[in-house]
Amino acid sequence: MIRFGPRQEDQTSTSRSRHRWSRLVPMLALVGVVVLLSGCGSEVVQPYSHITPQTEKANDIQTLYKITFWAALIVFVGVQAAILYTALRFRRRNEDRPEQVHGSRKLEIAWTVIPAVILLVLFIPNAQVIFKHAAAEQGPDKFDVDVIGKQWWWEFRYRDIPADPNNPDAGPLVTANEALLPVGVDVVFHVTSNNVIHSFWVPQLSGKVDVIPGHDNPLQFVASTPGDYFGECAEFCGSAHAWMRFKVKIVPEENFDAWVTAWRTPPASDANTETADVMEAPPAFGACLACHRVNGTNAAVALEGMPGLSGYVQGANETIGVSAEDQETDATGSEIVPGPGPNLTLLACRDTIGAGLLENTPENMERWLKHTDEVKEGVYMPNYYEQGAINDEQVAELVTYLQSLKPADGCPDEGLLVGGQVPQAEVEATDPRPNSGNGTPVAQ
C-alpha cells in the first residue's frame, strides 16, 4: 500500500525520537571529548612525545599543535553535527521527490570563507613560529655542536671544544649517542649525514630536523632544566633504524666542565693496564682500533666524522659539506660508506650501548661483543667472536677494559638529576626481539 503522507502516530514518534536524539548527540560528543582528552594528562612524562615540552622552542611547537588540534576538533564536531542534523531533519518520510535546490549564493560564500578563515588561523601562528625559530638559529654566542647521523648511531662533535687545548690539530671533543650539554646555553646542533637520510628528533627539546648528506641543517634550543632528554631517529634509514636512539643530557655547568676534563684525561687504569695507554689495553683491543678511538690514549688512529672530508679526518673545525665528488670518492662501488665506529672515550659513563639498545652493564657488553649482529641486526661492526678471531677470555678482558673507561673518581654526571626529568622506570621496555636472551630489559 502506498502512503501519501505520514500518519498521525508517525509524526508523534518522529518528534519523540527527535527529542531523544537532541539529548543523545551532545552526550555522545561529550563522552568522545573526555575519552580523547584522557590521553593528555600532563602528569605523565612522555619522553618520546612532544606533548611534554621542556624548552621554549618545543613549547612553541606544542602551542601550534594545540591550535591545530582545537581547530580540527571544532571542524570535526561541526561537520558531524551538520551531518547528523541533516540526516535526521531531512530523512525520507514518504516516496515524494524532495524539493531540488540548485545554487545558493549564501552557502557558497560560507563554504569558501569559513575554510579560508580556518587556514588563516593556522597559517599565521605557524609562519610566526617558523620565522622566530629560523632567527634563533642565527647570531653569535651559540654553542655549536656538529651532529652526524651514522648507520645506526649518532656522532656529536663539539666544534668549539678542542680535544687537546695544546694541539689544535687534534680536532674537537667527540662523543657518541649521549651528548652532554651545560644547562641554559644557546645550543645549535648542525645536523648532517655521510650516508643516508635520517631524522634527528628530541621531542621535549625541539622539533624534528632532516639529516641529509651534504646539508648542514641547524637545530637550536635552550634547555633550562637539567635532565635526560631522549631522542631517536624519526625516518626509516635501514635495518637498525629503530635502534638509533640517543640522549641529550643537560647538566649543570660545573659537571659539564668536569666531563670535558675527564674526556681529555687518560682513563683510570683499573683494567689490564698500568699506564692507561691503549698499548697496555688487552691486545684484542687492537682489532677495535681500526674503527674506534679512546681519547687520552694513543688509540686515536681510527677515522672519525665524515671520512673523505679532510676537515673531519684531520678533525679540524671545517664546515660540514659533502660535495658530489666527495660522495663518489667515498663510496665503494654502490655501497654506502658506513664510516668509523663511535668514539669510546668515557664509554663506561654512558647509560646504554648499541645506540640505546642495551643497558651498559658488563653482561650486556659481553653479549654485545659476542653476538653483535644478532643483538642489533644490520650493524656494521664485525663479529670477531663468532668469526673465531677472539675467544671467551679475550672478550672478558675487553669487557673489563671497556668498563674501565671512566674517570677514577666517577662519572661527571653521576648522581645528578639525570633521569630525574624522565624516570627510568617509565621508559623501560622489554626487548621485543626474538632470541634476545633472558628478557634483558632495554633501558633507554
Q: Any alpha helices (H) in 38-137, and if so which ranges?
A: 56-89, 105-136
- Of 17-25, 236-244, 247-255, 303-311, which part binds ligand CUA (CB under 6 A)? 236-244
439 contacts: CB under 8 Å, gap ≥ 6: 430, 431
Cβ proximity of 150 and 190 under 8 Å: no
Query: Per CB under 6 A, does 149 bind ligand CUA?
Result: yes
Query: Per CB under 6 A, does 198 bind ligand CUA?
Result: yes
Measured from the CB of residue 152, what is the shortest distance to ligand CUA in angstroms?
A: 6
Measured from the CB of residue 207, what is the shortest distance to ligand CUA in angstroms?
A: 16
Give me the sheet containing 143-149, strands edge to edge: 172-176, 154-162, 143-149, 186-193, 217-222
Binding residues with ligand CUA: total (CB under 6 A)? 9
Measured from the CB of residue 443, what is the shortest distance to ligand CUA in angstroms?
A: 20
Of residues 238 and 252, the one with the C-beta less far from ligand CUA: 238
The burial of 303, by beta-carbon neighbours within 10 Å (0-12 exposed, 13-18 middle, 19 or more buried), is given as middle
- Torsion angle in degrees (nearest 10) through CA of 244, 335, 173, 155: -10
Cβ proximity of 298 and 286 under 8 Å: no
Of residues 237 and 358, the one with the C-beta less far from ligand CUA: 237
Cβ proximity of 221 and 57 under 8 Å: yes
Of residues 142 and 157, the one with the C-beta less far from ligand CUA: 157
Of residues 380 and 384, the one with the C-beta less far from ligand CUA: 380
Of residues 231 and 282, the one with the C-beta less far from ligand CUA: 231
Query: Per CB under 6 A, does 377 bind ligand CUA?
Result: no
Choice from 205, 237, 250, 349 touching ligand CUA (CB under 6 A): 237
Query: Per CB under 6 A, does 322 bind ligand CUA?
Result: no
Query: Per CB under 6 A, does 356 bind ligand CUA?
Result: no
Of residues 137 and 210, the one with the C-beta less far from ligand CUA: 210
Choice from 137, 144, 164, 235 touching ligand CUA (CB under 6 A): 235
| Separation CA 338–CA 335 (nearest Å) | 9
Site mask for ligand CUA (CB under 6 A), range 150-169, x = bound: --x-----------------
Measured from the CB of residue 211, what is the shortest distance to ligand CUA in angstroms?
A: 7
- Of 138-146, 166-174, 201-209, 230-238, which part binds ligand CUA (CB under 6 A)? 230-238
Of residues 152 and 368, the one with the C-beta less far from ligand CUA: 152
Beta strands at 209-211 and 198-201: parallel, antiparallel or unpaired: antiparallel
Measured from the CB of residue 444, what is the shortest distance to ligand CUA in angstroms?
A: 16
- Torsion angle in degrees (nearest 10) through CA of 198, 339, 316, 298: 130
Of residues 149 and 342, the one with the C-beta less far from ligand CUA: 149
- Of 123-131, 212-220, 235-243, 259-267, which part binds ligand CUA (CB under 6 A)? 235-243
3 state SS of 242: helix
| Separation CA 236–CA 229 (nearest Å) | 21
| Separation CA 297–CA 172 (nearest Å) | 15
Neighbour tally for 14: CB within 10 Å? 14
Measured from the CB of residue 239, what is the shortest distance to ligand CUA in angstroms?
A: 10
Choice from 160, 169, 236, 323 touching ligand CUA (CB under 6 A): 236
Measured from the CB of residue 197, what is the shortest distance to ligand CUA in angstroms?
A: 8
| Separation CA 375–CA 436 (nearest Å) | 7
Cβ proximity of 120 and 162 under 8 Å: no
Of residues 174 and 244, the one with the C-beta less far from ligand CUA: 244
Assigned C-alpha cell, 438: 633472558
| Separation CA 254–CA 396 (nearest Å) | 35
Instruction: Report residue 324 CA to chain centroid gap.
Output: 28
Choice from 50, 57, 159, 241 touching ligand CUA (CB under 6 A): 241
- Of 65-73, 173-181, 228-236, 308-316, which part binds ligand CUA (CB under 6 A)? 228-236
Residue 245 has what DSSP assignment? -
Choice from 61, 205, 244, 320 touching ligand CUA (CB under 6 A): 244
Nearest partner of 401 among 344, 350, 351, 443, judged by Cα: 344
Query: Per CB under 6 A, does 233 bind ligand CUA?
Result: yes
Cβ proximity of 354 and 243 under 8 Å: yes
Element (H, E) at 173: strand 172-176
Measured from the CB of residue 236, what is the shortest distance to ligand CUA in angstroms?
A: 6
Element (H, E) at 143: strand 143-149
Of residues 365 and 379, the one with the C-beta less far from ligand CUA: 379
Interface ranges with ligand CUA (CB under 6 A)? 149, 152, 198, 233, 235-237, 241, 244
